[in-house]
Structure 1
Amino acid sequence: DSFQCRCKKGFNDLRPERPGRICKQMIDECERPELNSCDRNAKCLDEEDGYNCECKSGFADVSPSPSLPGRACRPIVNECIDQKLNDCDPRAKCIDQPDGYQCECPSNTKDISPSAAFPGRVCHVFENECLTGKHDCDPQAVCQDNEQAFTCECPK
């Protein structure tokens, strides 16, 4: 007489080389939210040895641990669509990024933002007072434009 052992449905065989000897009840952690740590904006994916979480479409994964994704999901927002959602200088180009946005001053301006970590917050427009005539140099003097303003130099 020979016999064959097999784990019942809903049980996992922990020693497939000797079937049916050690059976562990499978638990679907995704069935009950208290059994998993997925964010409410994540999909719970049941797996043989546990579960995984995946942020739903329209949500960015901001989980603190890369090995545990889907634990913190926040809505993806394009801060560049509405100027009220970003603090870029009105002249700056707002560049949307997955984790926020970046500001970039145009080439005809100088970035004088208080923090180098946050560029494009203050873009200074250069005005060439010598070309526009907005200077008070003597007609005989030479007007020299610089980043701050201008200087007047009398001929020698």
Structure 2
Amino acid sequence: MLKNLLLVAALGSAAAFTGCESMQTSPHMTENLQLLQNKTWIATQIGGTAIKTAPNARNIPSIQFDEASKRVSGSDGCNRIMGAYTAGNDTLLLSQLASTRMACINNGNIDQKYNEALSKVTHYQVFGKTLKLLDRHGNLLIQFESAVQPR
């Protein structure tokens, strides 16, 4: 009976240590987070619609993910946005999003479409200079290009 108890305890300990080891941050996860964070992303597409903005435009839809504070900020094409985020290997949760409330005219409702898309984000993909924010089904919500070359 004592042998069975020791065997069960040993197997349970081994399973617990194995489970803890697998929860460590993988190099791939760290790489994805490094590609996502600490740069400005300029929106180029919302859903299936391309966004055309002049390079000298004042309020281009954009987003930044600050690694140190875990805060997100940017513009919806009219108003400033800010909030918090939590990111995993390919998951992204935006929370406590708030924005200024300026009147926006002649912007084709880009601000409304952008904010609606942000509210559905659950995942992300980064490939070089391109960031894709996706919904829980993997559908493209917003596509961005990096304003600065990745290091």
- Normalised by the length of structure 1, the TM-score is 0.26
For the pair shown, which has the larger CA radius of gyration, 1 or 2? 1
Higher relative contact order (CA 8 A, sep 6+): 2
- Normalised by the length of structure 2, the TM-score is 0.26
